[in-house]
A and B are shown apart, each in its own frame.
Chain A
Amino acid sequence: QSVLTQPPSVSGAPGQRVTISCTGSSSNIGAGYDVHWYQQLPGKAPKLLIYGNSNRPSGVPDRFSGSKSGTSASLAISGLQAEDEADYYCQSYDSSLSGRVFGGGTKLTVL
């Protein structure tokens, strides 16, 4: 059971827009800690996708965007492409655990 809750899977057709939610609590996201997102392609190491709730590292397409409100955060992917098929993880800090926490991950399928 992960501290941050994500849907196990989402899907969308090429060109569509999908969102992935990340729900926390008052000891992590709700306490004001930033949320970060990672993309993990099959058999590869995770790659930073969004940092500080809504910032994209250099090289990440602007099709990817992040937001945060209250005890939740969201990752939106617009203009879906086949290469976006991957697992996506949110991450934050939890004050009661005194450490980093990850969501359980969401598998994105491009139909």
Chain B
Amino acid sequence: QVQLVQSGAEVRKPGASVKVSCKASGYTFTNYYMHWVRQAPGQGLEWMGIIIPSGGSTTYTQKLQGRLTMTKDTSTSTVYMELSSLRSEDTAVYYCARDNGGYNDYWGQGTLVTVSS
């Protein structure tokens, strides 16, 4: 069965960086794009960007351009999301979610990133 398993919670100070992993299993990794979506405490879902695992191409939301980097490791079927220059507003649960033609059919369990001095 399809599974997306994310790395554990992180705490960072303002200005630092964080890298979250998402390991996929149960399907051919390179056949499906992967998205990252975040959710601040008590808030709605915010789309961050997409990575194409087969080639590594990425598209990011303009709001996070310059601070967001998505990468992949095909050998381990893992995608990574790295966010730099962290601010308190980046405190959120970060989800990876598989794309299936315009929508996300499988989601990771979420990773809480807390930015606090």
Output the nearest chain B residue to A33 by Cβ-Cβ distance: B102
Question: Within 8 Å of chain A (Cβ to Cβ): is B76?
Answer: no
Residues of B81-111 at the interface with A, using a CB-CB cut-off of 8 Å, are 95, 97, 100, 102-105, 107-110
> How many residues of A sit at the interface, in one of the four size bands?
20 to 34
A2 contacts B107, C-beta separation under 8 Å: no
User: Are B59 and A98 closer than 8 Å at their CB atoms?
Assistant: yes
- Chain A residue nearest to B46 (CB atoms) is A102
How many of chain B's residues have a CB under 8 angstroms from any CB in A?
22
Chain A residues touching B, majority SS:
strand
Check if A41 is an interface residue, CB within 8 A of chain B: no
Chain B residues lying within 8 Å of A23, measured Cβ to Cβ, are: none
List A residues at the B interface (Cβ < 8 Å).
2, 33-34, 36, 38, 40, 45-48, 51-52, 57, 89, 91, 93, 97-105
Nearest 7 CB-CB pairs, A to B? A36-B103, A100-B47, A45-B107, A105-B44, A102-B45, A51-B103, A104-B44
Given contacts A45-B95, A46-B45, A100-B47, 7 further A-B contacts (CB under 8 A): A33-B102, A36-B102, A45-B110, A48-B104, A51-B105, A97-B62, A99-B50
